[in-house]
Structure 1
Amino acid sequence: MTTKTKIPHALACGIALACALALIGPTQTAHAGSVTQPGERIGLAAGAPLPQGFYFVDTTDFGGRTPPSHETVGVTIPVIVWATPFHILGAQVQALVAPPLVEASTPGFHAQGWYNPLIQGQLAWNLGDGFGASYALGAYIGIDSPVADHSSSINQWGALSYTGGGYDLTASVIYGTQLDSRTNPNFLNLDLTATKSFGKWSVGPVGYYSTDLNTPYAGYRKQSQFALGGLVGYNFGPVILQTYLTKTVSETHYGGQDTRFWFRIIVPLGS
């Protein structure tokens, strides 16, 4: 399970995932609509099933928005994944848990702590000829933290991947439903990966889009954004490292363009 032909599939699970945040400043409340952090599934061939076993994946990112926002946010998302030996409807059953950590600041304000933990189950199909598809259902659990949503939410993830010929061509769609619809909006994310492996290296363009789907209360301004960037990865066999840089090219009601650096480590833990 740790051979070089299999380890790239460690990019496959709907791993990675959990986080955005609600920043509460001294004079205003600005809610980032997406509970799942936009861009966090970049670089993961999320449509393909994993080789059986356990995996540790950690995705860390840090960035800030241009004025007038002046927001800076750092996120760490450790994930434990179990690719089980069980199958349902021809799909491999996979499960994950993720307890994210968030640090956020604006001028005159700083907060850090645990973010809403994610529990999720996934079905992943090998469609043949390098194609795969997956569907995941899970929930972010509301907790009492200065950087968390106190509301729980249901998340549905779907992904299509092509991993033939050293490529990772993946589109991941995340649909979130807030259980407390009075304070937070439902949301839709789209994470995109188009990388190619050259020996142990992988490189290519990436991007993401996110948007609020409703206005939970009067005066709420729906947010949306689109970002592009590039990814570089290296397969040490069995450990995989990835870095990518993204920058907002358009946004609505986020108060500035976001530039963000990401780092990921993927470690197979054995059967």
Structure 2
Amino acid sequence: MTLAAVAAAAFTSMTFDANAAKPFPGTLQTGETAGLATGAPLPEGVYFVNTLSFGVRDTNPDARFLVDVPALVWASPYSIGGGQIQIIGALPMAHLSARGTGFDEYGLYNPFLAGAIAWDLGNGFGFRWLSGFYFNAGDRDLRVPATTWRNDAALSYTADGWNLTANLTYAWTFGTSNYSAFDSTSNGFNLDLTATKTFGKWELGVVGFGSYETGLPNGYNAAGIGRSKQFALGPLVGYNFGPVILQSYLTRDIYAKNQNLLGTKADGKETRFWTRVIIPLWSPEKPMAPLVTKY
């Protein structure tokens, strides 16, 4: 297990208030776990993980969305049923704008807190179940105006320098605020996929992610808003500076439907650049070995 595995525990997610733009399904920003072996247990310790991304979606006018997710992860020495207990907390920030509209908002997004249990299944395989909540707090014009219960199931293969991972998420929203344009908020599925290989300190590969919106809020049909769905692909590169690890990837939608963000073009595709840094803050063990891509 390598230090980069910790980032798999630290993901959080973004969305938009229905008053301002089309929300991502179930609050989750698809692609946030791409590049990570979310199914693998972590070395015991405390870690700081920061994921920063910037995307532009062709929605006439273009929607521009910057997301910064600073997170703390505690990989505990405790277990349940042979699986390691993990605690994850994050205070994400977001900046959303649309050219020519006058809309330009920056602030705190819904705070996130979750617990997870990760099992080492042997022969390079690992499985993790995560469950947590996005709280109805943060900037009124950016946050989801509801509480979201998020559940993830992740399966990873990390032997021989490989990271082959599928992370499936379903999220339910409830307790929608009165100021929302609709009386409920969206639920949905997200699937993040990773296929990378390490070569010494370098990691190379490809990532993909898709989403499908369920549980449309009342009033969406009357407003002409359909069920959103998309799928994106792109290359990833990572480098282990020991002990700090950096990753970056560039993704582009190859399919997008009903993704209108503050614009009139419902099927606009997004191009997004991602960076991630992983820093160990404390560990009772000796320094981690060089990156072997077991994220």
- Aligned pairs for 1:53-132 (under 5 A) are 53-106=45-98, 107-132=101-126
Q: Which amino acid aligns with 2:212?
A: T
Q: 1:128 to 1:249 in 2, by over 3 A?
A: same
Q: Which amino acid aligns with 1:163?
A: T
Q: CA deviation at 1:261?
A: 0.2
Q: Which moved more, 1:191-200 or 1:207-216?
A: 207-216
Superposed CA deviations along residues 184-213 of structure 1, whole A, max 9, x for unmatched, are 111110001100000000010101001111
Indicate the residue corresponding to 2:280 in structure 1: 268
Which amino acid letter does the alignment assign opposite residue 140 of structure 1? Y
RMSD: 1.5
Please list the CA deviations of residues 111-139 of structure 1 after superposition, one character each: whole Å capped at 9, or x if unmatched: 11100011000000001111000001100
Aligned equivalent of 1:156: 151
AA at the equivalent of 1:177: W
User: Contact 1:54–1:270 at 8 Å: present in 2 too?
Assistant: yes
- 1:207, 1:18 → 2: CA distance? 16
Partner residue of 1:147 out of 137, 142, 151: 142
Task: Give the CA deviation at 1:269.
Answer: 1.1
Query: Residue type of the partner of 1:21?
Result: F
Contact 1:33 1:184 in 2 (8 A): no
The residue number in structure 2 matching 1:235 is: 240
Residue 69 of structure 1: how far off its partner (Å)? 4.6
Q: Which residue of 2 aligns with 1:7?
A: 3
Task: Identify the match of residue 133 of structure 1 among 123, 127, 134.
Answer: 127
User: More displaced, 79-88 or 209-218?
Assistant: 209-218
Say which SS state the counterpart of residue 22 (structure 1) adopts: coil
**C-alpha contact 1:248 1:258 (8 A) present in aligned 2:** yes
Q: Tell me what 1:258 maps to.
A: 270
Structure 2 Cα separation of the partners of residues 32 and 70 of structure 1: 16
Deviation at residue 91 of structure 1 after TM alignment: 0.2
Q: Report which structure shows greater RCO (CA 8 Å, sep ≥6).
A: 2
Are 1:226 and 2:231 matched, yes or no?
A: yes
Task: Kindly indicate whether the alpha-carbon contact (under 8 Å) linking 2:157 and 2:164 is maintained by their aligned counterparts in 1.
Answer: yes
Contact 1:141 1:151 in 2 (8 A): yes
Which one of the candidate residues 232, 252, 260 is aligned to 1:247? 252
Could you say what secondary structure the match of 2:142 adopts? coil
Asked if the contact 2:107/2:138 (under 8 Å) is kept, the reply is no
Residue matched to 2:197: 196
Deviates more, 1:254-263 or 1:61-70: 61-70
- More displaced stretch, 180-189 vs 57-66: 180-189
Amino acid at match of 1:178: T
Residue of structure 2 equivalent to 1:20: 15
For structure 2, list consecutive stretches of 5 or more residues without a partner in the other structure: 177-182, 260-265, 284-295
Give the Cα–Cα distance (whole angstroms) in 1 for the partners of residues 216 and 19 of structure 2. 18
Structure 2 Cα separation of the partners of residues 7 and 69 of structure 1: 41
Return the alpha-carbon distance in structure 2 between the equivalents of residues 159 and 135 of structure 1. 7
Percent sequence identity over aligned pairs: 40
- The answer to whether the aligner puts 1:168 opposite 2:163 as a matched pair is yes
Structure 1 residue 185 corresponds to structure 2 residue 186: yes
TM-score, normalized by length of structure 1?
0.93
State the 1:144 CA deviation: 4.6
Higher strand share: 1
1:14 positional shift: 2.7
Contact residue 56 and residue 80 of structure 1 kept, 8 A:
yes
Distance 1:104 1:8, change over 3 A: closer
Give the secondary-structure state (helix, strand or coil) at the position aligned to 1:47. coil
